[in-house]
Amino acid sequence: MIDKLTKRMGFRTDPVIFAVSVILVIAFVASAILFTEAVDTGFGAVSTWIMDKLGWLYILGVTTFLGFLIWIALSRYGSVRLGPPNSEPEYGGLVWFCMLFAAGIGSILMFWGVAEPISHFADPPKQDVPPESAAAAEQAMAFTLYHFGLHTWTIFCLPALAFGYFVYRKGLPFRVSSVFHPFLGDGIHGPIGRAVDIVAVLGTLFGVSVTIGLGTMQINSGLNELFGVPETRLTQLILITVVTAVAVTSVATGLDIGIKWLSSINIVMAVSLLVFVFVTGSTVYLARGIIETTGIYLDSLVSLAFWNDTFNDSGWQGSWTVFYWAWTITWSPFVGIFIARISRGRTIREFVIGALAVPTGFSIIWFSVFGLSSFDIEWNQGGGLVERVVVEEDVPGALFAFLTHYPLTTLVSAVSILIVVIFFTTSSDSASLVVDMLCSGSPVSPTRQRVFWGVTEGVVAATVLTASGVGGLDALQQTIIVFGLPFFVIAFIMMAGLVRSLKQEAAAGVIKIRDVQ
């Protein structure tokens, strides 16, 4: 019956994965609207339990993932290609970088570029240095880059590597269940495999919906700063509708037109904004600061990678680091499959180095320029950012408050709003493409399927942001912490499955000795 219905709709998809996913999404939306308080209470209780009881496991786990990626890139398996031995990369290095960056954390750089460094500057995470001091500035940059450097890209890179290997080397479908093949065999096409893919669909939808919600709040704040547009739930609902419409239009044009060109254009615009702040700000101070911040990050990386706030037990880590890891992990199936989709033909070593080192290097430069400039504003230009971001808790408005200290404020702020819109659009349309692949198992499917999922993402984002009774940002955080847990567990299975399958290939002679030297 379900199969007949999906065919009548013109869809080519797994009817069970598609139907169950849609039913569960509808159930969540209806429950959030009809039983708002109960849903808020439930998600709040579960997210609090996860942060209190499992926060240490997230910290250890993500650091373990990073160690695994470094090991496999340097191992004898580093020369194995994600595809046949003679395959070549489909996209050049620059285009590949633009696409993975726009689908990854490009949107988050705009949201947190000013807000996170200035938050830690005013309220140091370890509480062992005076607020707004030079020592607080160093600690702020260390933690910010810990959150947006190697560890974040590790969470994307691990599933991307697993998907790329099992899809292009083993010929398995574009589904999360494919990474279970070393353990389940053809059972990935049965009930267990379908259950995994349904969870992946739901996690992707909610992860991207959180991002759309955050982006909507930032766009709203920028429009309020420029034109006095009120920051209300109604305004945000209208903005979600507009962003969703743009994303649906983009995803309908396909990967090589809409997503590819939007990603390339947007990274150029983002770099232009970065250069503008660097040139019109305290240029020499920033040039020195980028180098010093790199050293601060590398020097503190090991200690922060294992830091659990054990002695102070302030609860800070749960609301920052654990939230970030849980949020990023919900993105991991979508970003991982998307990156795998554009990475066919690269070797494991080339893939890991490219997907970790290049984005991390860009993040260091980005946060150094915006973070150090924020400190300079507080120390030498009259301040105001701490008051706006920390005291008034206007995190979405941080970037626009920051830009008032630069020339051409109105023009640059308007361009920044456009950058945010495009970043969130590329995230949404990339997610629509991936959710469709999770359901169909193929990178090629009817346009109406991708459009359907694009609209669904907008509906979920609107529901989470506007129907919640606990406030937009709190509701988004609670939702994402809960949905991140299953994918965190799956990541461990990915590592084991990769190693097992590579060893089996080597033992069977499928991987030649020269391929793994």
As a whole number, mean pLDDT of residues 15-28 equals: 88
Identify the band that residue 15 occupies on the pLDDT scale cut at 50, 70 and 90.
confident
As a whole number, mean pLDDT of residues 248-277 equals: 77
User: What's the number of domains the chain is made of?
Assistant: 1
pLDDT digits (tens, 9 = 90+) for 285-318: 999 999 999 999 999 999 999 999 999 888 899 8
- How many whole angstroms from its chain centre is CA 57? 20
* Domain boundaries, position 56: 25-444+457-507
Tell me: pLDDT of 515 over 50.
no
The region of weakest confidence among 91-100, 304-313, 344-353, 395-404 is 91-100
32 in a structural domain: yes
Q: Return left, alpha or beta for 413; rule: phi > 0 is left, psi -120 to 50 is alpha, else beta.
A: alpha
How far CA 172 is from CA of 31, 191, 243, in Å, comes to 36, 17, 33
How crowded is residue 303: how many other Cβ atoms within 10 Å of its Cβ? 10
451 in a structural domain: no
pLDDT digits (tens, 9 = 90+) for 165-187: 999 999 998 889 999 999 999 99
CATH number of the domain residue 144 falls in: 1.20.1740
4 in a structural domain: no
Tell me: pLDDT of 321 over 70.
yes
Task: Indicate the DSSP class of residue 152.
Answer: H
As a whole number, mean pLDDT of residues 232-252 equals: 83
Max avg pLDDT among 222-226, 303-307, 390-394, 424-428: 303-307
Cβ 354 vs Cβ 95: under 8 Å? no
Whether pTM > 0.75 for this model: the answer is: yes
The region of weakest confidence among 184-188, 388-392, 408-412 is 388-392
As a whole number, mean pLDDT of residues 490-513 equals: 86
| Secondary structure (3-state) at 311 | coil
19 in a structural domain: no
Q: Which residue has the higher pLDDT, 516 or 294?
A: 294
352 in a structural domain: yes
Tell me: pLDDT of 1 over 60.
no
500 in a structural domain: yes
71 in a structural domain: yes
178 in a structural domain: yes
The region of weakest confidence among 8-12, 348-352, 464-468, 498-502 is 8-12
| Secondary structure (3-state) at 484 | helix
pLDDT computed for residue 468 by the predictor? 52
How far CA 504 is from CA of 25, 165, 347, 397, 450, in Å, comes to 39, 13, 18, 53, 36
Proportion of the chain above pLDDT 90, given as a percent: 44
Cβ 328 vs Cβ 481: under 8 Å? no
Q: What is the 3-state secondary structure (H, E, C) of 185-204?
A: HHHHHCHHHHHHHHHHHHHH
The region of weakest confidence among 89-103, 204-218, 344-358, 388-402 is 89-103
